[in-house]
Structures are given as C-alpha cells and as structure tokens.
C-alpha cells in the first residue's frame, strides 16, 4: 500500500517556501588527490560560490520554479556582500537576510578529490554572526506554505517553527548538528531527515532504523537519514523506505545533502507520497554532484523530470 502525501495549506500564499539557516562563501578547489601533511599540491581548478545548507536549498527550490524567500544572517564583510546577489541569481528573495555589522560571514575552503568527488571542508564563522529570534518577521514566516530549517541558529529556528505551526505551515528540518533543544525542534517538525550520524546524535540509539523510529515518535510524520552513495531512508507510519543513490559520475559532493532536502520539499509541494518524494530527492541530489560547487548544477524541473524518466 502506498502512503499518501503530507497536508499543506490549501490557500495560495506569497511564498511556497521560506528557508531559514546558514549561508556561506565557499572556495572550492579541485585537487588530484588528498594532500600530504606539510606538502604542496597543485589544484586543477578553483571556484568561489555561494553555499550553506538553507541558502543552497533555497536556490535549488527556486530553480525548480517555486517562490522562495530566505531568512539568515551575514556579516558586513566582502563575503557577506556576495550573499544577496548569489541568492537573487537563482530567483530567491533574501527578504529575511540580516546583515550583522562588524562581524565576519561564514566562509569555507573545500578540497574536492578529482577521482571520487569526496571533499574535505575547513570553515569559519564569527560567533557573533548569529540569527536571533528578534530578527524574525512573523508576517514573513506566515506568508509561506513550507518552512525549511537547517537546525542552526537554534533559538531562532525554534521561534520560527512555533510561528509556522501556528499558521499551519509544514515544517521541514535538515538535521546535522545536535544542541540542547534539538529534540524540541524535531518535535515541532513534520519532516525530519538528517545526515547519517544525526539520528544517533539526537537519540543515542546506534541502529539508524530504530533511531529514526524514535525521532518519528517525537512527532514528525516523516523521519529519515541520508548516507551518500548508499542512498536515503525514510520512516513513515511504521515502515522504513529506502531509495538507492542514482549512478552518476560524481565531480563534487558538496551541497548534495542540501539539494536532497530541496528535492524532498519539492516532492511534498507536488503532493507526492514518501516513496516518490524520496526518489525525487535522491534524483535531484544525484544531478547536483555532476558539477563543481553545491550550486554548480541545480536542475530545472524539466531536467529533473527527464532524469527520472530515464531512470524509471
């Protein structure tokens, strides 16, 4: 028996999705292999582009044709000045972007291994460059059908999730790090999917299947995790669905998880059930790893549909 879609607000709203969380300036270096300690390594190519979990998901959703707003924070440095134009280039409206004077924006230096697409990340963000609950505009949150969070800026995320539930939004969470209060945040969401280690970090349960079942017991309708080339899993109403990763020639896995979440929200907005939405999300993530940078290959809706047809 195929399980049905999640319920969304029926009335038209200003935005389909509000994405709240991190943005970053990513400096991505394509290298022939891992460096040796104390050695030198000539890179094949370098690009500087926008990154960050929520910001990249916002760009992927806008590329798919949805009306998307972004809520986040950056510094007033050179990296921060790039955030807005990078978002607008994909059609995202950065109406909730807060510029924190005197702080440094998040930046990451990412070494991508040419043969496998695997990457090593070194990152920095000023501790004062934080989104706070008082930065939020309740009217903006209420103007969407879906609120997508990446779990960073925990207090602001909790406040936004409560606002969203009051106004009938579906709340989706990209789980990665766990802080005091992360269980409360998961309980406020209808969809919680994390990275491979997230279920254990949140629940303390080693077995990932049992861990996502425990997450679902907190309240989410869909709970799951992603595991790179092994695909993704989703626990829904007592059943654990698995979607294998699609075989593609990976260039760079940076941002694949962020794009996966955009694909899952895309499927939900289309009215897909868990099996189909999971397949949609894995397909969008697979396409994204075929170019350098987390936003280097964000598929249009037509490109995604053609890919899924070829893989059926």
What's the CATH number where 284 sits? 3.40.1190.20
In the chain, what percentage of residues exceed pLDDT 90?
88
Q: Does residue 276 surpass a pLDDT of 80?
A: yes
What is the Cα 48 distance to its own chain's centre? 19
Structural tokens at position 200: 């254990």
For residues 294-310, average pLDDT = 96
pTM of the model: 0.95
Kindly write down the DSSP assignment for every residue of 287-309, as one continuous string: HHTTSSSTTTTPPPHHHHHHHHH
Q: Residue 214 domain-assigned? A: yes
Q: Give the tens place of pLDDT for each residue, 114-163.
A: 888 788 899 998 999 999 999 999 999 999 999 999 999 999 999 999 99
The model's pLDDT over 11-20, given as tens digits with 9 standing for 90+, comes to 889 999 999 9
Residue 2 has a pLDDT of: 52
Q: Which of 165, 155, 164, 162 minimizes the C-alpha distance to 135?
A: 155
Model confidence at 10, pLDDT cuts 50, 70, 90, reads confident
Q: Convert the pLDDT of each residue in 212-256 to its tens digit.
A: 999 999 999 999 999 988 999 999 999 999 999 999 998 989 999
Quickly list H helices, 100-243: 138-142, 154-166, 182-187, 198-203, 208-217
Does a structural domain hold residue 41? no
Helix, strand, coil tally for the chain in percent (to 5): 35, 25, 40
**Torsion of Cα atoms, 146 then 148 then 154 then 160, to 10°:** -20
Residue 288 belongs to some domain of the structure? yes
Instruction: Give me the chain's average pLDDT, please.
Output: 95
Q: Is the pLDDT of residue 37 over 90?
A: no
Task: Report residue 1's pLDDT band, with 50, 70 and 90 as the boundaries.
Answer: very low
How many domains are there within the chain? 1
> Mean pLDDT over residues 171-191, rounded?
96
pLDDT at position 34: 85
* pLDDT (tens digit per residue) in 56-84: 999 999 999 999 999 999 999 999 999 99
Q: Running DSSP on this structure, what letter comes out for residue 164?
A: H
Q: Burial letters for 197-210: b for 16+ Cβ neighbours within 10 Å, e otherwise? A: bbbbebbeeeebee
Tokens for 51, please give them: 């990154």
Range of the domain at 63: 17-23+52-105+127-311
Contacts of 35 (CB under 8 A, 6+ apart): 41, 111
- 297 Cβ contact list (under 8 Å, min separation 6): 287, 288, 289, 290, 291
Q: Is residue 145 assigned to a domain? A: yes
In-domain check, residue 245: yes
The answer as to whether 83 is a domain residue is yes
pLDDT for 28 beyond 60 = yes
Whether 2 is covered by a domain: the verdict is no
Q: Mean pLDDT, to the nearest integer, of 26-46? A: 90
Cβ contact 53:131 at 8 Å: no
70 assigned to some structural domain: yes
Alpha helices in 188-273 (DSSP H): 198-203, 208-217, 256-269
């Amino acid at each position: 028996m195929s399980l049905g879609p999640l319920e969304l607000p029926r009335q038209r709203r200003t935005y389909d999705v509000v994405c709240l969380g991190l943005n970053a300036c990513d400096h991505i270096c394509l290298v022939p292999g891992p460096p040796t300690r104390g050695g030198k390594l000539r890179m094949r190519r370098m690009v500087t582009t926008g990154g960050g979990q929520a910001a990249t998901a916002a760009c992927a959703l806008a590329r798919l044709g949805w009306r998307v707003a972004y809520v986040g924070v950056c510094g007033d440095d050179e990296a921060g000045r790039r955030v807005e134009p990078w978002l607008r280039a994909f059609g995202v409206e950065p109406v909730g972007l807060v510029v924190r004077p005197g702080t440094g924006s998040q930046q990451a230096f990412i070494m991508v291994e040419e043969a496998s697409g695997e990457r090593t990340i070194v990152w920095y963000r000023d501790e004062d460059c934080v989104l706070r609950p008082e930065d939020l505009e309740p009217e903006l949150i209420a103007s969407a059908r879906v609120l997508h969070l990446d779990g960073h800026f925990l207090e602001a995320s909790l406040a936004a999730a409560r606002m969203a539930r009051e106004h009938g939004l579906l709340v989706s969470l990209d789980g990665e790090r766990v802080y005091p209060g992360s269980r409360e945040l998961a309980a406020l969401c209808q969809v919680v999917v994390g990275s491979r280690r997230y279920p254990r970090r949140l629940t303390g349960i080693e077995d990932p299947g049992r861990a996502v079942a425990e997450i679902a017991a907190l309240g989410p309708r869909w709970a799951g995790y992603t595991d790179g080339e092994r695909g993704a899993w989703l626990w829904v109403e007592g059943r654990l669905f698995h979607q294998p990763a699609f075989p593609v020639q990976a260039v760079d896995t940076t941002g694949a998880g962020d794009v996966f979440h955009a694909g899952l929200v895309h499927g939900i907005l289309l009215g897909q059930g868990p099996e189909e939405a999971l397949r949609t999300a894995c397909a969008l993530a697979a396409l994204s790893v075929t170019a350098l940078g987390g936003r280097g290959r964000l598929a249009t809706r037509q490109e995604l549909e053609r890919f899924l047809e070829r893989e059926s």
